[in-house]
Amino acid sequence: MERTRIAVAGASGLIGSALVRSLASDGHEVRRLVRRAPRGADEVRWDPERGRVDAAGLAGCDVVVNLAGAGVGERRWSEAYKRRMHDSRVHGTAALAKAVAALDAPPRVFVNGSAMGYYGETGERIVDEGAPAGSGFLPELCVEWEAAAAPARDAGVRTVLVRTGLVVARGGGAWGKLFPLFTAGLGGRLGDGRQYWSYIALHDEVAAIRHLVDRDDLSGPFNLTAPEPRTNREITEAMGRVLHRPALFPVPAPVLRTVLGEMAGDVLGSARVVPKRLLESGFVFAFPGIEDAIRAA
């Protein structure tokens, strides 16, 4: 990628902050979208939940990447928090997509976040980008989230939807909670452990996004997951091996439902998602295996 100006929403999150570091280290000019008054020319004011963005701050950007959204695993899913999850994604995406579409010189690509939650419960069935959306809160949210990017696509801006899996990293997400447990020797499978977890190393997540930005012939949905999903039991065993800690403390499904509420369905559910289109585009994973991904983290 030639040196260019890139706007990133969600720049303080797990993936966004890693992406910003990667871009900046290669000399790209990054503009971060912030919810407060900007402190410099590299910041752009916006309010995703109210659907507002300072479009003037996007002028001159060749790429716009939207990774913003209230964390799925941050807290129990009360009705109020589910509304926040919805509004931060759908309203924020719509505001950015409309701002992009209205620019006199729009960016060449708009990359919008989504999630493998689009597919819902898949059991042992392998799903790729051609599979339909599932049912329930998360799939319905993902459908709305992706649809909100339509103004950019309809204006002729190449639009990419990244359906991210469980990111293997120490600094946040599901693995941010797992690492301390396993390091303390308290890790174990969740439920019966037979549910598939589709994961991706943080390094590969960032590399895949940059790959999709660079390739002018790529648009539409892409699953950002490692090529071979593993069961929770297999991942638990891999965590124990890599961290040299026994995985002795399984958490029964009823306990998870009591502690996590509706979110337990996402933890106990099975999503066997594969990155068919990403592999077909020639992307090569640096850490495709679960042990590789855990060691990289």
CA angle 141, 270, 170 (to 5 degrees): 80
pTM (two decimals) = 0.93
pLDDT in tens, 245-271: 877 666 655 654 554 455 445 555 789
pLDDT of residue 77 exceeding 90: no
Give the CATH number, domain containing residue 22. 3.40.50.720
pLDDT in tens, 100-122: 999 999 999 999 999 999 999 99
DSSP for the chain, written as a single string: --S-EEEEETTTSHHHHHHHHHHHHTT-EEEEEESS--SSTTEEEEEGGGTEE-GGGGTT-SEEEE-----TTSS---HHHHHHHHHHHHHHHHHHHHHHHH-SS--SEEEEEEEGGGG---TT-EE-TTSPP-SSHHHHHHHHHHHTTHHHHHTT-EEEEEEE-EEE-SSSHHHHHHHHHHHTT----BTTS-SEE-EEEHHHHHHHHHHHHH-TT--EEEEES-SS-EEHHHHHHHHHHHHT------B-HHHHHHHHGGGHHHHHS--EE--HHHHHTT---SS-SHHHHHHH-
Residue 46 has what pLDDT?
Answer: 95
The domain total for the chain is 1
Residue 153 has what pLDDT?
Answer: 98
Average pLDDT over residues 266-281: 87
Residue 72 has what pLDDT?
Answer: 74
Q: Which residue has the higher pLDDT, 251 or 177?
A: 177
Least confident of 75-89, 255-269, 283-297: 255-269
Rounded (10°) angle between helices 173-183 and 232-243 = 50
Residue 238 has what pLDDT?
Answer: 92
Average pLDDT over residues 183-211: 87
Average pLDDT over residues 33-58: 92
Q: What range defines the domain where residue 245 resides?
A: 5-296
pLDDT of residue 49 exceeding 90: no
Least confident of 8-12, 150-154, 186-190: 186-190
pLDDT of residue 26 exceeding 70: yes
